[in-house]
Structure 1
Amino acid sequence: MKKISTLLCAFTAFALVLAGCGDKGGGASSSSPSPSSSSAPSSSGEASQATDDISKKLTLTMMVSTAAGGGWTDDHPMVKYLNDKFNIDLKFQWVPGDSYNEKLNVLAASNNFPDVFQIWDAATYSKWMQKGVFLDLQPLLADYPNLVGNVTDEAMAMMNPKGKVFGLPMYAPAFRSNLSIRQDWLDKLDLKAPGTVDEFYEVAKAFTTQDPDGNGRPDTIGFSMSVSNSGDILGIDYLKGAFGLANRWKDDNGTLVAMQTQAEEWKALATYLRQAYSDGVLDKDFPVNKERDPWNKLEGNTNGIAEVNPNEVYKQSVPTLQKLAPEADIVQLDPPAGPTGLRFANTITSTTKIVLNAKLDEEKQRRILQVIDFMFSDEGYIWSKNGIEGVHYTKNGDTYEKLDAFDNDRPQILSTWFIRRFDPSIQIRLWDDKAYVDKVLAWFENTEPYAWTNPAAGLISETFSKSGIQLDQKFTAAIVKVITGNAPVESIDDAVKAWRSGGGDKIIEETNALYADLK
């Protein structure tokens, strides 16, 4: 595709897949299980799996970034299953997420990469791809129909040179952070869900000043946010978009515009947040909050509005909150309309890639792709999400029952942390109640009209790789000073000039050059 829409379609495809329309995104297989289905696969919808020779036992190494709980042991049932099925000795290297990039750099220094691993950072992916670290998978993919059939063409092409595939895309739901509100607080204060940013402010102010938790103490806040180490203001994308800011970049008649140059939009948003901070409506701790703290405070009965993951609302957030407030209820809130009617939601385009070591011989290349192809098949998709029948769940007629081993073994972590189909129901289990499934998927579907796409996702400027984070940190520090009342709103003009003169203009030039190559 030579049109600008090469990337834009990829982002649209993410949104369409989330609404259960993956086939419209240009690549998802029609045999992919319906997002609302929790049943086992039928025999008719399954593409044939690759039949490479597996008579020779191979040792394979796989490095995976982990979150809470860490990875599997070598004798884990899921590891044994893969070993037996593919005649391999699979050696996992489980690396905590906060030290994963550091581990990659150590491996790069010794030129000793595992057989298959993840690259989370787009700049690293671009740099190492050009150095020949990754295997070009394009000549092999036709032999693995489950893999090809359950990844959109646009996502497969993203960040890869035309005609080559050095990395497989890791799917992430575009709308995994959805805006939510305390319905019980609205009811107690006789308020309606806000539809505009002005109404949002009034509701948030009431949550702060009118004692919605009924404990007689001024210990509640309207909404919260955080500031990341890389210089991003997190948790308020719905407000950024409402005031006209881009999701990092916007396309203005074919030219990319960086959000850091949008002085007037930043001043309008900062003025709004400055008032909220002064009134105590905005969490006073936002400059030191960690990314999940606004959500933690929602679950802790102190915050009234926050972005949440629909997959965790009913299984974690509501039960946690109801231990403190038994009548509490969290519901979805549409993004509020800004002064000109703009409404946008937090929208993520995953740039994580799964790569194979370029040094692998053909036997290992194909064995690894067999394993991945299996995970994308109907059978493997069920396995990767739910575990092993008889070990992690049982089937009774048309119903399924989770066994205790599922919680102990956590068989789903490979699909959660490593690679999975393009399907928003990735965290839906066979035994989940249909009413629950419908509620979760409704959050994704309801947010789809408010997609806030970044047309430059995956385009890595050389200057940004060298100094972009430092520039963003300085720029955001200036914005924070305005919000907290430590600098005038007009100082944002100086912050924009400093960003541009410090390297921002070069980033804009280089990113637009990369963008032009897509036309």
Structure 2
Amino acid sequence: MSASRRRRLIAGMLTITAALTASACAGGSAPAADPNTLTIMAKLFGTAPDPKGELQQAVEKFLGKKLQVTWVPNAQYTDKLNVTLASDKLPQVMGVDPKLPAFVRAAQAGAFWDLTDKLDKYPNLKPMDERTALNASVNGKIYGIYRMRPALRSAIVIRKDWLDKLGLKPPETVDDFYDIAKAFTEKDPDGNGKNDTYGLIIPKWPGNYASSSPYDTLETWFGAPNGWGMRNGKLVPGFDTPEFLEANRFLKKMVDGGMVNPDFATLDSAKWNEPFHQGRGGMIIDVNVRSRQVLDLFRDEGDKDYGDKVAMVGNLKRSDGQKFSLPFTGYLDVLAISRQSVPTEQDLDNVLKTLDKLGTVEGQNLVMNGIEGRNYQVVDNTASLINETDPAIRTIQDNADDAFVQLGFKGDTDIGGIALPRTPSGQPYKDMIKLQNELMAEDLKTAVHNPALPVISPTAVAKGAQIDTIIPDARIKFLSGEMTEDQLKGEIKRWYDSGGTQVTAEVNDLVAKLPK
């Protein structure tokens, strides 16, 4: 997109947001929301549920309301969100990254309800963790109900059968990781006699810098800050550190050696599991639950030895033995409420009461696990899956996993939430969940937290569309060989010159004002 076109788009967005805000703030003159219907926009990670399907009907019966859900594929969500924000048809509830500049602009202009002082009267909406609520805020103001997530879930999923075939042990250090990637690329781990495998699978990442991407995880292993870190008494962005450059030199060496899928800049993230499952790639750096997704793929094709296909390790040590682990934010998106489609305090109370009911143990189990007695039963305080080979039952499970889980905002008990943790019937799943919890507990000891997570600078909001993509775009070009390291450093300077200097000053000022 050209600079002039981008400026026109930003100007248009601001104009429309102003108009939207004026409409939202018209108060009593706005039409009342339908009290019997809840409209939602949420992410989708598979096939959209049938509105007349069994799980949606169960959720509607539980809430006593009709649901109108716009399910948007994850890879397209940010674009759809920007378009929706610029329209006059906002749903009542939207799942959104609270730090997204377009959302922050709209929220600060009054397009979304400020919930900072409104949630305490709803027992199931009060923040379960005040620090996470602060992290999910916009400089202390709460514009949405945060969706609880584990504090640490970064991990590496590995083809265990490839390790076994080549007589390799799971990696402990970045050097081990490199050696395994090289062996997976050069030593025919699938035994087909062809040079057709690679060590690491990376997709086109839909988020910007510091968005828990595989790149961010690897950079953290090398000692780079997680988003922002203290250097010489001042907070600086993690990409302006020697460790960031060292990590990307390391990864570029892997790319140049054919150890990374050649389409890493374009691979659809929705197809991330395919090369792993189909025997083309051997490792994935992502969240630990991906291990269960790939187990599903092997099990669903009737492989009785599916548990022998997948291994997992946590964060890796640096070459000198020091360990730095990438934690998560404690939340993933928030459920924000539009003032355009929920115009009055009475309407807001109605929506919050509905979400409060959804926030009960029964409601969270329903959207996160499915229907008790149909696709799961309670065994040892877990949601143990049943009837997994029945297509109709599997649809309920898939609808929960791929879609309705986006309305699960209070997590499961394994991570301090209220819903039952889900356990598939096979022993490999039970073993993987046990390992997952052990790795999370261990890696939390070396977690590198982002001290700037609760804040967003005014300049970042105003210039986000112009500067947010500078670093991730330059990183991809450097890794692809389209840009030298000096040019990458030049792009870091351009980030500063384009507004990053002001962003850095404002972040330092805002963090200094946070409650200690």
Among all aligned residue pairs of Structure 1 and Structure 2, give the percentage whose two residues are the same amino acid: 26
State the distance in 2 between where 1:191 and 1:463 align: 49
- Closer, same or farther: CA 324–470 of 1 in aligned 2, 3 Å: farther
Q: Deviations over 1:335-365 (max 9, x none)?
A: 2221343433443323522122334444433
What secondary structure, in the 3-state scheme, does the structure 1 residue paired with 2:47 have? Answer: coil
- Closer, same or farther: CA 146–299 of 1 in aligned 2, 3 Å: same
Q: Once the 2 structures are TM-superposed, how far is the Cα of residue 427 of structure 1 from its aligned partner?
A: 8.2
1:378 aligns to what?
361
Q: Deviations over 1:454-493 (max 9, x none)?
A: 2223532333334445545444444444434455444443
- Closer, same or farther: CA 504–341 of 1 in aligned 2, 3 Å: farther
Task: Specify which of 191, 216, 226 is matched with residue 168 of structure 2.
Answer: 191
Task: Specify which of 86, 105, 124 is matched with residue 127 of structure 1.
Answer: 105
What secondary structure, in the 3-state scheme, does the structure 2 residue paired with 1:260 have? Answer: coil
Residue 270 (str. 1) matches residue 248 (str. 2): yes
- Closer, same or farther: CA 90–290 of 1 in aligned 2, 3 Å: closer
Q: Deviations over 1:370-407 (max 9, x none)?
A: 33222332222333333344555567999966354442
Task: Specify which of 318, 326, 335 is matched with residue 338 of structure 1.
Answer: 318
1:501 aligns to what?
497
Q: Once the 2 structures are TM-superposed, how far is the Cα of residue 265 of structure 1 from its aligned partner?
A: 2.2
State the distance in 2 between where 1:147 and 1:107 align: 25
1:260 aligns to what?
239
- Closer, same or farther: CA 322–335 of 1 in aligned 2, 3 Å: farther
Size of the aligned set, in residue pairs, is 460
Q: TM-score, normalised by structure 1?
A: 0.75
Q: Once the 2 structures are TM-superposed, how far is the Cα of residue 102 of structure 1 from its aligned partner?
A: 4.9
State the distance in 2 between where 1:397 and 1:347 align: 29
Q: Deviations over 1:24-43 (max 9, x none)?
A: xxxxxxxxxxxxxxxxxxxx
Give 1:383's aligned amino acid: L
Residues 456 and 515 of structure 1 are in contact (CA less than 8 Å); yes or no, is this contact kept in structure 2?
A: yes
Which runs of no fewer than 5 residues in structure 2 stay unpaired?
A: 1-33
1:35 aligns to what?
none
State the distance in 1 between where 2:498 and 2:297 align: 48
Residues 462 and 507 of structure 1 are in contact (CA less than 8 Å); yes or no, is this contact kept in structure 2?
A: yes
Residues 196 and 336 of structure 1 are in contact (CA less than 8 Å); yes or no, is this contact kept in structure 2?
A: yes
Q: Deviations over 1:207-227 (max 9, x none)?
A: 221111111111111223345
2:405 aligns to what?
416
Give 1:381's aligned amino acid: Q
- Closer, same or farther: CA 269–161 of 1 in aligned 2, 3 Å: closer
Q: Deviations over 1:44-81 (max 9, x none)?
A: xxxxxxxxxxxxx93233212241211441x4445544
Residues 59 and 366 of structure 2 are in contact (CA less than 8 Å); yes or no, is this contact kept in structure 1?
A: no
Q: Once the 2 structures are TM-superposed, how far is the Cα of residue 199 of structure 1 from its aligned partner?
A: 2.4
- Closer, same or farther: CA 110–200 of 1 in aligned 2, 3 Å: closer
Residues 39 and 93 of structure 2 are in contact (CA less than 8 Å); yes or no, is this contact kept in structure 1?
A: yes
2:334 aligns to what?
353
Question: Which residues of 2 match residues 276-355 of structure 1 at below 5 A?
Answer: 276-291=254-269, 295-314=273-292, 316-317=294-295, 319-320=297-298, 328-349=308-329, 350=331, 352-355=333-336
Most deviating of 195-204 and 465-474: 465-474
Q: Deviations over 1:282-312 (max 9, x none)?
A: 3333233333555432222122221254434
Task: Specify which of 199, 216, 221 is matched with residue 242 of structure 1.
Answer: 221
1:436 aligns to what?
429
Q: Once the 2 structures are TM-superposed, how far is the Cα of residue 508 of structure 1 from its aligned partner?
A: 1.2
What secondary structure, in the 3-state scheme, does the structure 2 residue paired with 1:213 have? Answer: coil
Question: Which residues of 2 match residues 88-167 of structure 1 at below 5 A?
Answer: 88-109=65-86, 111-122=88-99, 123-148=101-126, 151-160=128-137, 165-167=142-144
Residues 121 and 351 of structure 1 are in contact (CA less than 8 Å); yes or no, is this contact kept in structure 2?
A: no
State the distance in 1 between where 2:56 and 2:72 align: 17
State the distance in 1 between where 2:334 and 2:380 align: 39
State the distance in 2 between where 1:439 and 1:295 align: 17
Question: Which residues of 2 match residues 225-236 of structure 1 at below 5 A?
Answer: 225-228=202-205, 232=209, 234-236=213-215
Give 1:348's aligned amino acid: F
Aligned-residue Cα RMSD (Å) equals: 3.7
State the distance in 2 between where 1:295 and 1:356 align: 34
Q: Deviations over 1:211-252 (max 9, x none)?
A: 111111111112233453655594244421122222221134
Q: Deviations over 1:231-283 (max 9, x none)?
A: 55942444211222222211347632102312x22332233233323332333
Q: TM-score, normalised by structure 2?
A: 0.76
- Closer, same or farther: CA 364–356 of 1 in aligned 2, 3 Å: same
- Closer, same or farther: CA 430–273 of 1 in aligned 2, 3 Å: closer
Residues 370 and 376 of structure 2 are in contact (CA less than 8 Å); yes or no, is this contact kept in structure 1?
A: yes
- Closer, same or farther: CA 89–469 of 1 in aligned 2, 3 Å: closer
